[in-house]
Amino acid sequence: MSSFVWYQFLKVFLMKMNTTDDDDDHVEARNDMITHCRWFYRDNKSILKQIDEFENVYKSTDAIRWYSKQSFVYRLINVALRTENMSVLYLFRYYLKDLCGQLTQNFRQIELYVRDMSFELYRGVRLNTNEVEKLKQSIGQMISANGFLSATWDRQIAEVYAGFAQQLTDKNLVSVIYKINVDLAQARSIIFADVAQYSEHLDEQEVLFDIGSIFTLNSIEFDDKNNCWLISLTTTDKMEEIVDKHVQSKLDSLRYVPTHIVFGEILLE
């Protein structure tokens, strides 16, 4: 299963899970997640206190807040998404459904204060030189985010994350600025939300893209002045029909199969 389809299937399946706060599946999913987190951080008293807090106060409308503050759920989920570890993602199905759902609910708020249907967002990272070279092979093609993708309205914030103000000690790491061209008229399936209101760092003006967002890789250029790579992306719907058809076909074939069996099916692909 390609990355395009894999992440879309995960997202669609999570949102199709019919659970309420008091049904058995919901309680089981919540307990599975908390039990795993306690086991993973069994020797870390500080994180165990976070997990206790999560268990006592968390509700579905807190999903973005817990992700944005880079808590234990942020760290464990991102590792699982990058490695496509379905066993761990299954344990986090309860929280992932909440996070995807809240991003979708908050998406329309962006249209209320964005004057134009097209605008730019930025993402600053430090990448290994080998990763940049691999990306160069995909210029003109579509790429999929391996999980949730964080960006910002403010390029200067992205530059901080790219390491502009620091001396990179690892010679294999380079500063990278992604310029993400968003066109709401042309990419109607894209889901993202302004999450600054949920963040502990309001000045970062954070925007969060949903799982498996797809972009066209336009260009990769080196900026001699700032000693960094500039990567241009554009949101796209071009893969939507192909991906949707594959995902729907898979869902139809597993319509009456229990949730844990479905995740097992994906794990084997």
User: Do residues 120 and 219 both lie within one domain?
Assistant: yes
Same domain for 95 and 171: no
Residue 93, in any domain of the structure: yes
* Residue 249 dihedral angles phi and psi, to the nearest 5°: -60, -40
This model's pTM is above 0.75: yes
Q: Which residue has the tokens 């502009």?
A: 164
Is the distance from CB of 64 to CB of 103 less than 8 angstroms? Answer: yes
Question: Which residue blocks in the chain are alpha helix, DSSP H?
Answer: 3-16, 24-40, 45-57, 63-68, 72-82, 86-91, 93-113, 129-136, 155-161, 240-253, 259-268
Tokens in use for 269?
């692909």
pLDDT tens string, the chain, 269 residues long: the values are: 456 666 766 776 666 665 555 466 778 889 999 999 999 999 999 999 999 999 999 999 999 999 988 889 999 999 988 888 878 888 898 899 899 989 988 887 776 666 667 889 999 999 999 999 999 999 999 888 888 999 999 999 999 999 886 766 778 899 999 999 998 877 777 889 999 888 877 788 999 999 878 899 999 999 999 889 999 999 988 766 666 666 666 666 656 556 556 555 655 55
Query: Could you report the per-residue pLDDT of 35-56, keeping only the tens digit for each?
Result: 999 999 999 999 999 999 999 9
- What contacts 2, CB < 8 A, 6 or more positions away? none
Residues of the chain with pLDDT > 90, as a percent, come to 45
- Residues 225/159, Cβ–Cβ less than 8 Å: no
- Asked if 82 and 144 sit in the same domain, the reply is no
Residue 83 lies in a domain: yes
- Whether residue 52 is found in the same domain as residue 97: yes
Domains identified in the chain, total number: 2
CB-CB neighbours of 105 under 10 Å: 14
Residues 205 and 122 in one domain: yes
Q: Provide the residue range defining the domain that includes 82.
A: 3-107+255-268
Asked if residue 63 belongs to a domain, the reply is yes
The CATH number of whichever domain residue 170 belongs to comes to: 3.90.176.10
CA distance from start to end of the chain: 6
Same domain, residue pair 133 and 98: no
What is the b/e burial string over 247-258, where b = at least 16 CB atoms within 10 angstroms of the residue's CB? Answer: beebeeeeeeee
Contact present, 220 and 139 (Cβ < 8 Å): yes
